[in-house]
Amino acid sequence: MISVFVYGTLLAGESNHHVAAPFLISVQPGSIFGRLYDVGPYPALTLTEGDHKVIGEWFEVTEEGLQAMDILEGYNGPGASNEYERVWVSDVNGLREGWAYIWETISGLKEINSSSWRAYSAQKNK
């Protein structure tokens, strides 16, 4: 069982949830310290130190689920050319740890003034 924090289109009910759904063991709400940025149809996450929370879900998935999410997120492995980097993170309450997909370079991206991609995208698509 592998823990992954998701915050965008992989969330339950969002456009790419079908990628993880066949491999899900459990889903729990959670949040980590970071900021979201608008990449158009999906968000980018950067990690911060305790000043802003990003709301999402903790997925427990199989190894195959992690591989499917790696493909979706353009993660080819450590040191490779990756769209997103996969890094180890902790929930704000310190009770959970797992992987999250983050962007290292956000130059030119608009910061999302919300802790929730769902709330932001619902407002954006009105």
Mean pLDDT for the stretch of residues 46-74: 95
- Structural domain spans, the chain: 2-120
Backbone phi, psi, residue 109, to 5°: -90, 145
pLDDT in tens, 26-55: 999 999 999 999 998 999 999 988 789 999
Domain 2-120 has CATH 1.10.1840.10: no
Give the active site residue among 49, 57, 63, 73. 73
Chain-centroid distance of CA 61 in Å reads 14
Nearest to 59 by CA among 104, 9, 93: 9
Q: Tell me if residue 60 is catalytic.
A: no
- pTM > 0.85: yes
Rounded Cα gap, residues 12 and 9, in angstroms: 8
Rounded Cα gap, residues 111 and 94, in angstroms: 25
